[in-house]
Homo-oligomer: A and B are copies of this chain.
Amino acid sequence: MKTALIKEIYRNKENFKDQNITIAGWIRTLRASNAFGFIELNDGSFFKNIQVVFEEDLENFKEISKLTISSSIIIEGKLKLTPDAKQPFEIKATKIMVEGLSDREYPLQKKRHSLEFLRTIAHLRPRSNTFSAVFRVRSIAAYAIHKFFQERGFVYAHTPIITGSDCEGAGEMFRLTTLDLDHIPRNDEGQIDFKEDFFGKETNLTVSGQLAAEAYALAFRNVYTFGPTFRAENSNTARHAAEFWMIEPEIAFAELEDNMQLAEDMIKYVINYVLEHAPEEMAFFNQFIDKGVLERLENIVSANFGRITYTDAVEILKKANVKFEYPVEWGCDLQTEHERYLTEKVLKKPVFVTDYPKGIKAFYMRINEDDKTVAAMDLLVPGVGEIIGGSQREERLDVLEKRIEEMGLNKEDYWWYLELRKYGGTKHAGFGLGFERLIMYMTGMSNIRDVIAFPRTTKSAEF
């Protein structure tokens, strides 16, 4: 079916001027009198609609005049530039074919709907302006991430989703099984016999690809993952989903400063790419969703990200003339209120907080010379707080082994991870970026359920 895409027409209208073309799409609005009518048609290729004019000389004028919202049609007609009108051009239809009539009950009529209601029709909501923009931006941002890393020679590693390990250290896990829950096999000691399970052992959904990515960084030097990760945490908030996508680069022969530079370069690249490739969508967000979003993003792109140690940050927070809900002491984790104060009030730009107390960070982070802090980094951004967490990894076998023991973990579970240090380990570092958090930040959408096509959260796995 050879039809022109509305995006092509918007981008090269001179090429289509006065041409007879065929387009296809869904009716967003239709109004008709006895003599003529207008259709706003959207074909999904572009954020904007195209205006179609039809007149009573049309063979099926009456049928078309009564078409319902969201009906799909195919239109033949001539493209006319309309320099004096609101829209840059319109199609004068010579033929309109009805492809699929939409039922009058179509729930996405023109009136405004709440985001909560739209979640209940997640199969239809991408046909609305807001979600058309959100999911096109999500797609473009995903591509920008691949492009950024591939242009720098990073190898994209598909780390496993199913893991035989429950010790990735990043959160609660979902168990996976093919056992018949009504007849769970048991061994002689009465324990569940996982030898009968599909993989012959207990398995879970991964919470992070990092450990596997480290193995690949020690072969390919610069690698990244970009895939789904899972948390079985009962966090019914606007910022937590049970299934979300994460980007985890890992770089060898690299220290914390290289890691921060990479994070800064990546964030700026992705924002620039989206601003350039989705200007209509970004203008929409700026107008209807989050009035300051364009300015905020432009500030980020032009800022030099700050750096401050955790210890200095705590000093600043303690001296701050602000009543925090959670008081700050050296050794405690920073809360969102602290993070936002630092990035919004003190530094007024994105800032990396580094060198956190080892007691509040994961076992794999590199111990600093003071033996009290680790070479960790969190990137805080105005309006949100933490958006990236990362660290230099502990490459010293003896130090790492001691740390695993100290934290009460089981060394045998990490045999291959330890071997990476035994056979030519090197300084290396990496970070994790929650993709949905980035999309929320770029679009101004405030609920994670509204940037995931079919969100999975506590007590909800619809569609």
Contact = CB atoms under 8 A, between A and B. Distances in A.
B72 A425 contact: yes
B453 A228 contact: no
Interface in A187-223: 192, 198-201, 203, 205, 212, 215-222
A420 interface: yes
A451 to B, nearest CB: 10
Given A143-B146, A160-B454, A416-B123, A176 B178 contact: no
Interface stretch (A48-56, A101-109, A398-406): A101-109
A309 B243 CA distance: 41
A269 to B, nearest CB: 15
Contact of A124 (B198, B222, B423): B423
Interface residues of A, number: 111
Contacts of A25: 221
Interface in A223-274: 227-228, 230, 232, 234, 242-243, 245, 252-255, 258
A150 B273 CA distance: 13
A24 interface: yes
A420 B26 CA distance: 12
A156 B176 contact: no
B164 A463 contact: yes
B253 A160 contact: no
A322 interface: no
B458 A198 contact: yes
Given A182-B192, A228-B228, A143 B156 contact: yes
Given A161-B228, A177-B177, A192-B182, A221 B454 contact: no
B24 A253 contact: yes
Contact of A162 (B136, B416, B456): B456
A177 B232 CA distance: 9
B100 A242 contact: no
A397 B159 CA distance: 40
Interface in A135-178: 135-136, 138-140, 142-143, 146, 150, 153-165, 172, 174-178
B123 A420 contact: yes
Contacts of A5: 153, 221
Nearest to A175: B177
A238 B27 CA distance: 49
A160 B453 contact: yes
A407 interface: no
Contacts of A83: none
Contacts of A184: 181, 184
A200 B236 CA distance: 14
A312 interface: no
A220 B461 contact: no
Most buried by B among A165, A218, A458: A218
Interface string A104-143: 0010000000000000001110110001100110111011
B124 A419 contact: yes
A431 B456 CA distance: 25
B138 A158 contact: yes
Interface in A339-378: none
A167 to B, nearest CB: 12
Contact of A463 (B212, B424, B461): B212
A240 to B, nearest CB: 13
25 contacts: A1-B427, A43-B221, A44-B155, A70-B423, A72-B253, A72-B425, A99-B426, A102-B422, A103-B422, A106-B423, A106-B424, A122-B215, A127-B218, A136-B155, A139-B155, A139-B156, A146-B146, A160-B461, A161-B161, A163-B461, A172-B178, A175-B176, A178-B232, A181-B184, A198-B232
Given A24-B253, A126-B216, A162-B230, 6 more contacts: A5-B221, A7-B153, A26-B424, A44-B220, A72-B426, A132-B220
Interface of A: 1, 3, 5, 7, 24-27, 43-45, 70-72, 74, 99-103, 106, 122-124, 126-127, 131-132, 135-136, 138-140, 142-143, 146, 150, 153-165, 172, 174-179, 181-182, 184, 192, 198-201, 203, 205, 212, 215-222, 227-228, 230, 232, 234, 242-243, 245, 252-255, 258, 395, 416-417, 419-427, 452-454, 456, 458-463
Nearest 5 A-B pairs (CB), nearest first? Answer: A44-B221, A126-B219, A44-B220, A199-B461, A164-B461
